[in-house]
Amino acid sequence: MPEHSPPPGESSRGPAGVPQEKDLRGVTPTAMTPSSGVMRDHKTDSIHPFIQQDLDNSLQEVPLNTWIQAVLGVSPSRLDEWATRIKKLDWFRDHVIGRALTDYARPLQEKHIYKPFARISNRILELAKGALPGVGGSYPIDDIKVVVNDPISIERIPEHGELGAFRKPDLLFVRGSHKKASRGKTPRVRWVDILAFLEFKLDDKEQLLETLNSCRDDRGLPIIKAKGELRRPKKSTEDLAPKRRSARIAKITSISSDRTSSGPSSAGSKRSIDDALDGEPDQTRGSSKKLKSDSPNSETIRKDVKLQAGGYALELASCTYGTRLFSLGSIVRDDKMSFWYYDASGYIRTEENVSVIKDFEKFAAIMVAFACGEPKHWGALPDIISPSPSAPYPASFPPSSLKGHSLQMIIPETQKPVKVTLGKPVFTQYGLVGRRTFLYRIKTDTVVVQTPLVIKFSYQVVTRKREQDLVEVAREAGVDHIPKVHMWRDLWKLSEGARAIFHNGDTNAYEDKMLRALVYTRYIPLDVLFKKSWHLIPHMADQILDCKRTHIFRFLPKMADCSIFSIGLHDLRYKAKMLHRDISANNVMFEVRDGAVKFIVIDFDLATMVDSNGEPLAAPSSKNRTGTLPFMAYELLEDMSEPGPPERKRIVHRLRHDFESLFYLCLYCAFTMVEVEDPQLKLDMIAQVKEWENLTLKSIASIKELLCSSVRRIAKLVLPAPCEVLRLFFFGWWRVLVKSRAALVAYQADQFVAQQLGQPSPPTFDLDTLQGTLTRDTIKQSLKHHYSRPLRPEDLEVANISGLAEVVESYMQDDDSNHPKDECLLAQGSISQKANRSRKLKSTTKVKKAEVTKKKTDTRTIFAARKVIATIPVSPVRKQSPKPAAPKRRARTLAAASRSMTTRSMQKGVMAKPSDPRVLC
């Protein structure tokens, strides 16, 4: 069954009942609107809905010279000096450049301008060495090249698994070592290898030749004839059509044969989004992208190419493990080139365009400016996070991750400095504008605490209360189940970089953000627990909602009846007067404490302080949305989807919205984390979650509102067979949500009637709890009434959860630490040993260690093959194929896709099998 086709028995209609058109592959896409384009799976023909929102809300324009100076560090006077020198040297007449310009001006299809542009750019970089003032015989990144990439897709990062995006930027700035990779002759280019991307759009190919001939005439050069005017034997349409068809088939076959498992199917095409926008494709053309020039809706076309470029910038920001402060790109429409900068605050593009032909000298000077850029001009992090001495910049830039990088931090209690060295990456947030959180495991040169640690980096709005301060407020208020923060540091502001030049020091013109680092305890992702122990999903909801629970500690009998703790969202709101505002699958984790499972709410980036009525104490400090898209309440999504001036009053995020997010989290855990053998059932369940992200914001809001109001949707939910008993649990959620919705609708109706009749407003209505219909107590009462299975404390004891002790032990030992006997690892291991009450035999331990060693060796071999550093002249793929473990890896990929990050804007997805889980903190 194709991945995008609807489940059996369901119609191919949109979420709101809107009929949908078929795309080129005969697959039904989701509904679309002219303003937002197609919103579908994170594939070649879809763009994340937040890209459109960011284009509408955060895009700003600056003069070209300002952009060049801010991003590339080249002053206008130096740029003009280079352009003057290039004109004096008459590079326009260079044989290579002249031929390439001629080919560029006479394309039959858009793809025919890719290679000429690359030849022009690389020849410029070659000619500039030692010939222009300030340009030496080599560049900081000495082997920088412009290469053609389309139609080869960029390799997806492993964490995104089978659900990763297949993107195919037209051209790329890369190092020379990756030049052949872009043509499929070696392992494909990774996002971490890309310095910048270039996206092309051919609107008027006839105009190109007119522009070139005008420039040639001004320079006294002969006129170039159009290709149709050259002497060539004419061929009929009947003769041409079969050849085009066969050539296309041959091309698809060739591409398919070059692709590994990371590549898309041969049927995929980046341009199907354009076909959907512009109607039926013209089969006589070789490129569907050319169709856009025939569409009368130029605004839709213009937005579409911006959306495509935004999608590439999103992948660059999300798939580089936090190694870049910003992403760079260019959009070339015919011969007119604009330059784009993307960071956590928004998009910056040039006001004016540069013509590759008419403004050749200035264009050439800008290409040289790019080549003269040091790592910081390509988005490298500030020196405060320094690379390893064994891999200095620029020789090792761009790095595959920040592993081996280090920074200095201070232990708050002792004020003692600590060197923190980053280990392997844990996850990277799938986002462009916003926090862009990324985590790494760490090692320290001083013992900070006797538990494994991670470091979290994120771009936080400078006017917001710091995350560590919010966590401390909650802790002092007696709120449990929150993370333990050990160290923190403010690293760098966006206003200290290019933004200062863009806006001439005016921080009010944009949303300034601080790159902050927090070190806290490493927790365990939910999928490790729910893979087999799905019956604990109601326990998670019970704890996170808020309850008072007496733990019966098997190993601490004296404390059996006296350990009472209060926890959860309710306490956070009424004790600490705080809202979390981002309950999602990656922000709820668990730890093993005193032999039992304890759920933890992490990531207080979006938390806010409120008054007794639930109103925010401070004005909104961020221009961006609050929450993770698949888990956001439908009322907030509907409000976000409605256009309007920024000053209009928006829906306030309240505790009831966090409760609704918890409902979606429970469903998500059942859909994606429970072990299921039937592949079709997995796809059906994942399809339910995709509806929460892959459509327009308004469509997602409609789907969720229907889920919370129609009992038929609860009855039709596709659940794993063992989880069928949870259907009444979800029905209990539905009952309380539908009652609260009815109360809100009745209040809104009374308000509307009063306004129309000019009557006084209705009596005071409690918007925080919807007149008491949506609270902790009403939810717990409804769940208890419909879900009869008792929530016993002993169910959470590790000793009573089959296989969990071994998984936790394996997880805590899965580290790159050079000190395997570290006390913190031994301490965590002792927890699981106590829970099992049985001592493992030495022989068993040795066998297990040997298996772990073998797995690590295999992993290093595959990694080496991917980076093309293996010295044995044997294909790594062939070497792996005869191994009997290969089928297991394929099954693991499918299982991982179903139980981990099904929708990548969930932000912190990590695909990992239970025996080797990757933390999702």
Taking 70 as the threshold, does the pLDDT of residue 263 lie above it? no
pLDDT number for residue 895: 35
Of 127-136, 314-323, 907-916, the range with the lowest mean pLDDT is 907-916
* Claim to verify: residue 217 and residue 339 sit in the same structural domain: yes
Q: What band does 153 get if pLDDT is binned at 50, 70 and 90?
A: confident
- 219 Cβ contact list (under 8 Å, min separation 6): 92, 93
Q: Which of 554, 669, 653 is nearest to 607 (CA)?
A: 653
Q: What is the CATH number of the domain that holds 779?
A: 1.10.510.10
Mean pLDDT of 216-228: 88
| Residue 311 half-sphere exposure toward CB, CA atoms < 13 A | 30
State which H helix or E strand residue 251 sits in.
Answer: helix 237-258
CA distances in angstroms from 5 to 8, 214, 392, 680, listed in the order given? 9, 51, 48, 12
From 352, 378, 404, give the residue that closes a domain: 378
State which H helix or E strand residue 853 sits in.
Answer: helix 842-866
Region at 735 (left for phi over 0; alpha for psi -120 to 50; beta for the rest):
alpha
Taking 60 as the threshold, does the pLDDT of residue 287 lie above it? no
The partner residues of 443 in beta bridges, in order of sequence, read 421
* Claim to verify: residue 701 and residue 806 sit in the same structural domain: yes
Q: What band does 502 get if pLDDT is binned at 50, 70 and 90?
A: very high
Taking 70 as the threshold, does the pLDDT of residue 265 lie above it? no
CA distances in angstroms from 343 to 48, 309, 367, 748, listed in the order given? 16, 14, 22, 39
- DSSP helix, strand, coil percent of the chain (3-state; round to 5): 45, 15, 40
Q: Give yes or no for a contact between 391 and 460, defined as CB atoms under 8 angstroms apart.
A: no
Q: What band does 83 get if pLDDT is binned at 50, 70 and 90?
A: very high
Mean pLDDT of 869-891: 38
pLDDT number for residue 47: 64
Q: What band does 11 get if pLDDT is binned at 50, 70 and 90?
A: very low
Q: What band does 229 get if pLDDT is binned at 50, 70 and 90?
A: low
Taking 90 as the threshold, does the pLDDT of residue 658 lie above it? yes
pLDDT number for residue 283: 34
The crossing angle, in degrees rounded to 10, of helices 727-757 and 776-786 is 140
Instruction: Give the separation between CA 48 and CA 618, rounded to whole angstroms.
Output: 30
| Diameter of the chain measured on Cα atoms | 99
Q: What band does 900 get if pLDDT is binned at 50, 70 and 90?
A: very low
From 357, 378, 399, give the residue that closes a domain: 378
3-state secondary structure of 37: strand
pLDDT number for residue 650: 83
Q: Which domain holds residue 548?
A: 462-483+523-839+884-921
**Please, what is the Cα angle at 859 between 853 and 862, to 5 degrees?**
145
Domain presence at residue 125: yes
Above pLDDT 70, what percent of the chain? Answer: 69
Mean pLDDT of 363-389: 94
**Antiparallel, parallel or unpaired: β 327-333 and 194-201:** parallel
Domain presence at residue 119: yes
Residue type, 906: M
* Claim to verify: residue 219 and residue 363 sit in the same structural domain: yes
pLDDT number for residue 46: 56
Instruction: Give the separation between CA 531 and CA 677, rounded to whole angstroms.
Output: 12
Which tens digits make up the pLDDT trace of 684-696? 998 898 888 878 8
Instruction: Give the separation between CA 28 and CA 508, rounded to whole angstroms.
Output: 44
Taking 50 as the threshold, does the pLDDT of residue 813 lie above it? yes
pLDDT number for residue 39: 27
pLDDT number for residue 162: 58
Q: What are the DSSP calls for 349-375, one per residue?
A: EESS-EETTTTHHHHHHHHHHHHT--G
Which tens digits make up the pLDDT trace of 391-414? 999 989 999 899 999 999 999 989
Mean pLDDT of 118-146: 94
What's the domain count of the chain? 2
Q: Give yes or no for a contact between 65 and 504, defined as CB atoms under 8 angstroms apart.
A: no
From 378, 408, 428, give the residue that closes a domain: 378
Domain presence at residue 282: no
Instruction: Give the separation between CA 524 and CA 518, rounded to whole angstroms.
Output: 17
pLDDT number for residue 99: 95
Taking 70 as the threshold, does the pLDDT of residue 111 lie above it? yes
Domain presence at residue 301: no
Domain presence at residue 359: yes
Taking 70 as the threshold, does the pLDDT of residue 81 lie above it? yes
3-state secondary structure of 488: strand
pLDDT number for residue 624: 58
pLDDT number for residue 644: 67
Q: Which phi and psi angles does 411 have, rounded to 5°?
A: -75, 120
A 10 A CB-CB count for 815 gives 18
713-746 residues labelled b (16+ CB within 10 A) or e (exposed):
ebeebebbeebeebbebbbbbbbbbeebbebbee
pLDDT number for residue 617: 83
pLDDT number for residue 307: 87
Taking 50 as the threshold, does the pLDDT of residue 352 lie above it? yes
Instruction: Give the separation between CA 291 and CA 282, rounded to whole angstroms.
Output: 7
pLDDT number for residue 44: 40
Higher pLDDT, 25 or 761: 761
Taking 90 as the threshold, does the pLDDT of residue 764 lie above it? no
Q: Which of 378, 432, 431, 433 is nearest to 196 (CA)?
A: 378
Region at 572 (left for phi over 0; alpha for psi -120 to 50; beta for the rest):
alpha
Q: Give yes or no for a contact between 590 and 598, defined as CB atoms under 8 angstroms apart.
A: yes
The partner residues of 440 in beta bridges, in order of sequence, read 425, 455
* Claim to verify: residue 471 and residue 370 sit in the same structural domain: no
* Claim to verify: residue 788 and residue 649 sit in the same structural domain: yes
Which tens digits make up the pLDDT trace of 480-498? 778 889 999 999 999 999 9
Q: Which phi and psi angles does 260 have, rounded to 5°?
A: -95, -165
Which tens digits make up the pLDDT trace of 415-446? 999 999 999 888 888 888 888 899 999 999 98
Q: Which of 339, 332, 397, 342 is nearest to 194 (CA)?
A: 397
* Claim to verify: residue 478 and residue 368 sit in the same structural domain: no
Domain presence at residue 237: no
* Claim to verify: residue 468 and residue 373 sit in the same structural domain: no
Mean pLDDT of the chain: 75
Mean pLDDT of 89-115: 95
3-state secondary structure of 397: coil
The partner residues of 745 in beta bridges, in order of sequence, read none
Mean pLDDT of 851-859: 45
Q: Which of 109, 567, 88 is nearest to 365 (CA)?
A: 88
pLDDT number for residue 625: 63
Higher pLDDT, 807 or 246: 807
Of 159-163, 522-526, 637-641, 769-773, the range with the lowest mean pLDDT is 159-163
Mean pLDDT of 34-60: 58
* Claim to verify: residue 744 and residue 637 sit in the same structural domain: yes
Which tens digits make up the pLDDT trace of 766-792? 888 999 999 999 999 999 999 988 889
**Please, what is the Cα angle at 143 between 137 and 146, to 5 degrees?**
115
Taking 60 as the threshold, does the pLDDT of residue 291 lie above it? no
Higher pLDDT, 453 or 178: 453
Domain presence at residue 206: yes
Instruction: Give the separation between CA 275 and CA 289, rounded to whole angstroms.
Output: 8
Evaluate if pTM is beyond 0.75. no
Higher pLDDT, 618 or 312: 312
pLDDT number for residue 272: 32
Domain presence at residue 578: yes
Residue type, 692: W
**Antiparallel, parallel or unpaired: β 346-350 and 60-62:** parallel
State which H helix or E strand residue 61 sits in.
Answer: strand 60-62
